[in-house]
Amino acid sequence: MAKELNFKQELVGCFGFPVAENPTQAMIEPAFRAMGLDWRYLTLEVTPENLAAAVAGARAFGFKGFNCTIPHKVAVIEHLDGLGESAALMGAVNCVVNRDGKFIGENTDGKGFVSSFREIADPTGQSLLLLGAGGAARAIGVEMALAGVRKITVANRSEKRGRQLEALFRGPVSDAVGGTVEIEYLPLTGKFSVPEGTDIVVNATSIGLFPDVDAQVPIDVDSLTSEMVVADVIPNPPKTWLVREATARGCRVIDGLGMLVAQGVIGIEYWTGQTPDPAVMRTALEDIF
Ligand SMILES: NC(=O)c1ccc[n+]([C@@H]2O[C@H](COP(=O)([O-])OP(=O)(O)OC[C@H]3O[C@@H](n4cnc5c(N)ncnc54)[C@H](OP(=O)(O)O)[C@@H]3O)[C@@H](O)[C@H]2O)c1
């Protein structure tokens, strides 16, 4: 009897511009192979003027979903059929999921952070200091509020951007959690001292990202205490100056690879309905970084 043959792969991918340096494919495709799935994750260069056509193309090709990176995280929303709760609060999508033919926008950045955080501590009732007020800070703040933190302090270099994030957290995000979260803004200037009572410190700035690997987050590291959890979003290189200083002070530390892998795990779960092996994904990234 002839064997049934299937040469049609399921497709997912990443839309960005520029996109060639995005490493996501290097962790997602090994995860698919380890799961025994004949799926492809394509790294696709999509210019802003081609975004609508690219989304229409993904529908035509029956994509199971796709990631969005700079500059499409906000612009993609008008081409989608709906948004998940946290993506709606953030106004940004980094993961589109094909649910019964509808393209739904999710945001896995903050969910990935919370997932890697939960491996070492419970966020409920904790006081979070966010350094930075860009997309990563917003994603982490929204998900940590939904996960039950008691307080969020935003510290940012540009006051305008810091105040915008403070307003989002004080308004819609606070409303979404029943007004239970306290919000504060502080300027990130000089040698910033971590406020007493802080439980979690997150570098959500781009300081330390390759090639500026020696750049230092402008905080007084002597204000870190061993009771704190310190996280850095920078995936490349994972051992940033902050990660090294916090480790030396006995803090529990989460590096940027932890968050990157965890958000990739959530994306694969959304697309395939199955959980990949995070160790396979982390090893694949460690090999390239
Ligand atoms: N590990 C992961 O899974 C993951 C996921 C998402 C993002 N990331 C990383 O997160 C980082 C931030 O991404 P983003 O999308 O949030 O970028 P973004 O929107 O451009 O925001 C960058 C933030 O960094 C601050 N900043 C940059 N240089 C600074 C400096 N020299 N001194 C003080 N503040 C500085 C900016 O402050 P101003 O407002 O004052 O300019 C802003 O708050 C990127 O490096 C990215 O690789 C990692």
Ligand 1 lined by 262 (C-beta under 6 Å) = no
205 CA to middle of ligand 1, Å? 3
Q: Which atom of ligand 1 is nearest to the CA of 132?
A: 43
26-61 pLDDT, tens digit each: 999 999 999 999 999 999 999 999 999 999 999 999
Q: Which amino acid is at 110?
A: G
Per-residue pLDDT at 282 exceeds 90: yes
Write down the architecture of domain 110-254 according to CATH: 3-Layer(aba) Sandwich (3.40)
pLDDT category of residue 4 using cuts at 50, 70 and 90: confident
Atom of ligand 1 nearest to the CA of 162: 39
pLDDT tens digits along 194-253:
999 999 999 999 999 988 999 999 999 999 999 999 999 998 899 999 999 999 999 999
Q: Which ligand 1 atom is at minimum distance from the Cα of 260?
A: 3
> 113, 123 in Cβ contact below 8 A?
no
- Minimal-distance CA residue to ligand 1 atom 30: 207
| Residue 289: per-residue pLDDT | 82
Does residue 2 surpass a pLDDT of 80?
no
138 vs 154: CA distance, rounded Å:
10
Give yes or no for a cis peptide into 278 (omega within 30° of 0).
Answer: no
E-assigned strand segments in the chain: 10-16, 39-45, 65-68, 82-83, 95-99, 102-106, 127-131, 151-156, 182-187, 200-203, 229-232, 252-254
Q: What are the Cα distances from residue 263, in Å, to 28, 67, 179, 193, 275?
A: 11, 11, 27, 30, 12
Domain ranges of the chain: 10-106+259-288, 110-254
Superfamily of 10-106+259-288 according to CATH: Leucine Dehydrogenase, chain A, domain 1 (3.40.50.10860)
Residue 263 pLDDT grade (very low, low, confident, very high; cuts 50, 70, 90): very high
Strands (E), 164-249: 182-187, 200-203, 229-232
Mean pLDDT of 91-97: 96
Q: Please state, in angstroms and rounded to a whole number, the distance separating the CA atoms of residues 206 and 121.
A: 24
Q: Is the pLDDT of residue 120 over 70?
A: yes
Compute, in angstroms, the gap from residue 231 CA to the centroid of ligand 1: 14
Mean pLDDT of the chain: 96
Mean pLDDT for 265-279 is: 98
How confident is the model over 141-156, as a mean pLDDT?
97
108 Cβ below 6 A of ligand 1: no
With a 6 Å cutoff on the Cβ, whether 158 touches ligand 1 is: yes
Same fold: 10-106+259-288 with 110-254: yes
Instruction: Tell me which residues are annotated as active site.
Output: 73
**Confidence grade of residue 179 (pLDDT, cut at 50, 70, 90):** very high
The answer, yes or no, to whether any atom of ligand 1 lies below 6 A from the CB of 135, is: yes
- pLDDT over threshold 80, residue 1: no
For the stretch 101-118, pLDDT in tens is 999 999 999 999 999 999
For a pLDDT cut of 70, what percent of the chain falls above it? 100
Residues 50 and 73 sit within 8 Å (Cβ to Cβ) = no
